[in-house]
Amino acid sequence: MKILKLNRKDPITIGSVVKSKLTTGKIIVGEVMNIITTNNKERYELILYDKRLRPMFRIDGQSYKVKTVDSTRCKLIDENFVFDTKNIFEVGDVVAFKTNIRTKFGVIIGFHHPDGLFSTSYENGYNGTDIIDCVEINKRGLTRKKNFKGDIKRFAVLGNKLKKCTVDLWNRTGPKIKM
């Protein structure tokens, strides 16, 4: 199958994925849901995408986040466009925490603010100040570790001490974590 390369001079239509720079300097990415034309001025209604290029939902979980943007601020993006997702953590990511003695592997189960304030990491991605809660897992087999009482082992660290890992599910000896 031939990969379709986008020409930035192509017209933007409904279903096109575009990036836009807001007046605040923030770059957003979204899919064109509607084209609004008034007084010879075009505006696009975008379904906003997160940094992993998935549609974002409102707090109610039923509808997408939508933003209206001026057409002069929008550009088509090609298949090579990526956000910098190196330090973005989400619930369910497999991570490694290296201490002086050994390396712990875990799965992110939540975030909490050190001062007990409301955490925005669930809606907007990891914000850099929250503490990340993890369940410790084995490197091979990805099973949860338990302590001598039979309780699941957990650990909590800041994001600057964690590294994201990938999981090789098709390793000949079983699932394995790669750093």
The DSSP string of 143-171 is PBPB-TTSPBPEEEEEGGGEEE-EEETT-
Q: Measure the CA–CA gap between 89 and 59, rounded to whole angstroms.
A: 19
Q: Residue 104 sits in which domain range?
A: 94-178
- Is there a contact between 108 and 95 (Cβ–Cβ < 8 Å)? yes
Q: What percent of the chain has pLDDT above 90?
A: 30
Number of compact structural domains in the chain: 2
Based on the domain organization, do 70 and 115 belong to the same domain? no
Q: Is residue 81 part of a domain?
A: no
Based on the domain organization, do 119 and 173 belong to the same domain? yes
Based on the domain organization, do 45 and 105 belong to the same domain? no
Based on the domain organization, do 57 and 132 belong to the same domain? no
Based on the domain organization, do 63 and 117 belong to the same domain? no
Nearest in space to 32 (alpha carbons), one of 23, 41, 24, 42: 42
Predicted pLDDT of residue 1: 32
Q: Is residue 47 part of a domain?
A: yes
pTM of the model: 0.60
Phi, psi of 50 (to 5 degrees): -85, -175
Based on the domain organization, do 123 and 48 belong to the same domain? no
Q: Is residue 87 part of a domain?
A: no
Please report which confidence band the pLDDT of residue 79 belongs to, taking 50, 70 and 90 as the band edges. Answer: low
